[in-house]
């Protein structure tokens, strides 16, 4: 396995740089946990493509997961063509054109507002033999402390509020969708379910399924899988509904690293290592969230002798990972390995500043194969 704490069983010199390396064995371990949840709780789990869409792994993932969840025509198409199983699509708003395509690609289509559902309901009726329809609801119960990731924050555009749902005709609606969590445990889900039942209890009786969204940190060490299963079973028994979960992060948690190379070392108040990657284009969550990724062999400032600021190779002044200390001085050519970089990374990369997209590799035991590398055309094709 690649990622056992500080050790890394990977021939870094043989890899292109920068490069995402996904570990099939960790994906399999995560899948085993998710499969246990499906079997013990009798629920279906979908892969949220927004979090992880490395389709060369789909033939592994689709052996266990029931399908994919999409937020756009292109994600729905990727799910349909490359993953198989069920395709569930939710988007904050559809145009007539995107909805027409999404209806042809999806098994479930969920609307974010009463106005969109009512506007498109007559059109959707002709797809009702093949497509189930849902409404995304907002129970106004926050469990997420970072506002950027809290769909229940005040003023959120995501999900129908209890006030907006009052007196709405539910004919034609087969299910309800909730996505309110982010990296949360099963106790946050239990509290959320309590809020859902309190706020929308009457509506649960009239639907066939409830999709409890993503944000469940199921594969994180220490997550109480037994409590999750019991919570889901109780919910299912109380309401006689089919339950879906659609995690992205939990599927690929800890299943990949990002390898970059030191290109130069400069000094301006602090030693700065300039890497051949870019945080703003290749690991944008580091800046957006923000958070501090772990680097194998490195510690917080002061914990080891040699301190460096790690920065990227775009021209953005803030293209900086953070300050890290190392036991030995860094040298030009050194490889740095960032951990837990499979989810919300390769799906978010851009070619800003002409920074080339990182290669993607798949490791399996001792084998490591480059499944994709990128070039000038990938930059040029986005422009005209
Ligand atoms: C509607 C919906 N479903 C599922 C997910 C996946 O969440 P996660 O990757 O945190 O499990 C998201 C993430 O934003 C989402 O918006």
Residue 185: Cβ within 10 Å count: 18
Query: Which atom in ligand 1 lies closest to the alpha carbon of residue 136?
Result: 1
- Binned at pLDDT 50, 70 and 90, residue 267 comes out as very high
Q: Using an 8 Å Cβ cutoff, are 12 and 259 in contact?
A: yes
**Which CATH number applies to 12-21+256-341+349-380?**
2.40.37.10
In this prediction, residue 41 carries a pLDDT of 98
- Cα 151 to ligand 1 centroid, rounded to whole Å: 10
Interval 73-91 mean pLDDT: 98
Query: With a 6 A CB cut-off, is 249 part of the ligand 1 pocket?
Result: yes
Interval 257-274 mean pLDDT: 98
In this prediction, residue 2 carries a pLDDT of 46
Query: With a 6 A CB cut-off, is 182 part of the ligand 1 pocket?
Result: yes
For ligand 1, atom 5, name the residue with the nearest CA.
Answer: 214
Domain positions in the chain are 12-21+256-341+349-380, 42-252
- Cα 50 to ligand 1 centroid, rounded to whole Å: 7
Residue 14: Cβ within 10 Å count: 9
Query: With a 6 A CB cut-off, is 246 part of the ligand 1 pocket?
Result: yes
Query: With a 6 A CB cut-off, is 179 part of the ligand 1 pocket?
Result: yes
In angstroms, the first-to-last Cα distance of the chain is 43
Query: With a 6 A CB cut-off, is 213 part of the ligand 1 pocket?
Result: yes
- Opening angle at CA 55, ends 244 and 127, nearest 5: 50
For ligand 1, atom 10, name the residue with the nearest CA.
Answer: 215
Interval 352-370 mean pLDDT: 94
Whole-number percent of the chain with pLDDT over 70: 98
Query: With a 6 A CB cut-off, is 47 part of the ligand 1 pocket?
Result: no
**Which CATH number applies to 42-252?**
3.20.20.10
Which residue's entry shows tokens 């990002």?
258
Q: Is the peptide bond before 54 cis (omega within 30 degrees of 0)?
A: no
- From 50, 49, 26, select the one nearest 257 (Cα to Cα): 26
Beta strands in 97-169 (DSSP E): 108-111, 132-136
Interval 317-330 mean pLDDT: 97
Output the six-digit token pair for 176: 């309800």
Ligand 1 mutation pick, 49, 138, 179, max ligand atoms within 8 A of CB: 179
- Cα 179 to ligand 1 centroid, rounded to whole Å: 7
Query: Which atom in ligand 1 lies closest to the alpha carbon of residue 52?
Result: 9
Which tens digit of pLDDT belongs to each residue from 192-209?
Answer: 999 999 999 999 999 999
Whole-number percent of the chain with pLDDT over 90: 94
Query: Which atom in ligand 1 lies closest to the alpha carbon of residue 250?
Result: 11
Query: With a 6 A CB cut-off, is 23 part of the ligand 1 pocket?
Result: no
Which tens digit of pLDDT belongs to each residue from 97-143?
Answer: 999 999 999 999 999 999 999 999 999 999 999 999 999 999 999 99
- Binned at pLDDT 50, 70 and 90, residue 9 comes out as confident
In this prediction, residue 8 carries a pLDDT of 63
In this prediction, residue 366 carries a pLDDT of 81
- Cα 312 to ligand 1 centroid, rounded to whole Å: 28
The CA radius of gyration of the chain, in Å to the nearest whole number, is 22
Task: Give dist(CA 117, CA 132) in Å, integer.
Answer: 13
Output the six-digit token pair for 187: 């106790």
- Classify residue 350 by burial, with Cβ atoms within 10 Å: 0-12, 13-18, 19+: middle
Query: With a 6 A CB cut-off, is 247 part of the ligand 1 pocket?
Result: yes
Query: With a 6 A CB cut-off, is 143 part of the ligand 1 pocket?
Result: no
- Binned at pLDDT 50, 70 and 90, residue 306 comes out as very high
Query: With a 6 A CB cut-off, is 159 part of the ligand 1 pocket?
Result: no
Which residue's entry shows tokens 């390769």?
346
Which tens digit of pLDDT belongs to each residue from 28-68?
Answer: 999 999 999 999 999 999 999 999 999 999 999 999 999 99
Q: Using an 8 Å Cβ cutoff, are 212 and 188 in contact?
A: no
Output the six-digit token pair for 160: 């129908």
Mean pLDDT estimate for the chain: 96
- Cα 8 to ligand 1 centroid, rounded to whole Å: 29
Handedness of CA 97, 100, 105, 107 (dihedral sign): positive
Phi/psi for 19 (5° steps) reads -155, 135
For ligand 1, atom 6, name the residue with the nearest CA.
Answer: 214
């Amino acid at each position: 396995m690649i990622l056992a704490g500080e050790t890394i069983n990977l021939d870094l010199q043989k890899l292109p740089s920068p490069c995402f390396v996904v570990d099939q064995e960790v994906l399999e371990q995560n899948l085993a946990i998710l499969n246990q949840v499906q079997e013990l709780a009798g629920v279906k789990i979908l892969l949220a493509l927004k979090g992880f869409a490395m389709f060369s792994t789909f033939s592994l993932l689709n052996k266990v997961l029931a399908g994919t969840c999409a937020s756009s025509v292109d994600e729905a198409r990727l799910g349909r063509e490359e993953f198989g199983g069920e395709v569930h699509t939710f988007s904050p708003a559809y145009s007539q054109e995107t909805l027409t395509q999404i209806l042809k690609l999806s098994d479930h289509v969920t609307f974010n507002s009463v106005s969109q559902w009512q506007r498109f309901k007559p059109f959707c009726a002709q797809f009702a033999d093949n497509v189930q329809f849902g409404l995304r609801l907002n129970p106004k119960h926050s469990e997420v402390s970072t506002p950027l990731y809290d769909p229940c924050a005040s003023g959120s555009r995501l999900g129908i509020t209890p006030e907006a749902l009052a007196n709405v005709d539910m004919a034609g609606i087969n299910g309800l969708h909730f996505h309110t969590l982010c990296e949360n445990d099963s106790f946050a889900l239990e509290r959320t379910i309590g809020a859902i039942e309190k706020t929308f209890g009457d509506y649960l009786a009239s639907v066939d399924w409830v999709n409890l969204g993503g944000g469940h940190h199921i594969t994180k060490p220490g997550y109480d899988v037994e409590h999750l299963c019991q919570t889901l079973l109780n919910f299912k028994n109380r309401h006689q509904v089919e339950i879906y979960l659609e995690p992205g992060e939990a599927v690929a948690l800890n299943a990949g690293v990002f390898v970059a190379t030191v290109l130069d070392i400069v000094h301006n108040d602090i030693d700065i290592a300039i890497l051949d990657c870019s945080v703003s284009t290749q690991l944008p969550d580091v800046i957006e969230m923000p958070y501090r990724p772990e680097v194998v062999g490195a510690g917080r400032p002061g914990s080891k002798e040699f301190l460096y600021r790690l920065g990227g190779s775009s021209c953005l002044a803030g293209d900086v990972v953070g300050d890290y200390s190392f036991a030995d001085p860094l040298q030009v050519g050194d490889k740095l390995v960032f951990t837990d970089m499979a989810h919300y990374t390769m799906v978010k990369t851009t070619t800003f500043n002409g920074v080339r997209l990182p290669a993607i590799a798949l490791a399996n035991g001792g084998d490591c194969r480059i499944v994709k590398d990128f070039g000038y055309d990938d930059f040029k094709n986005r422009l005209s």
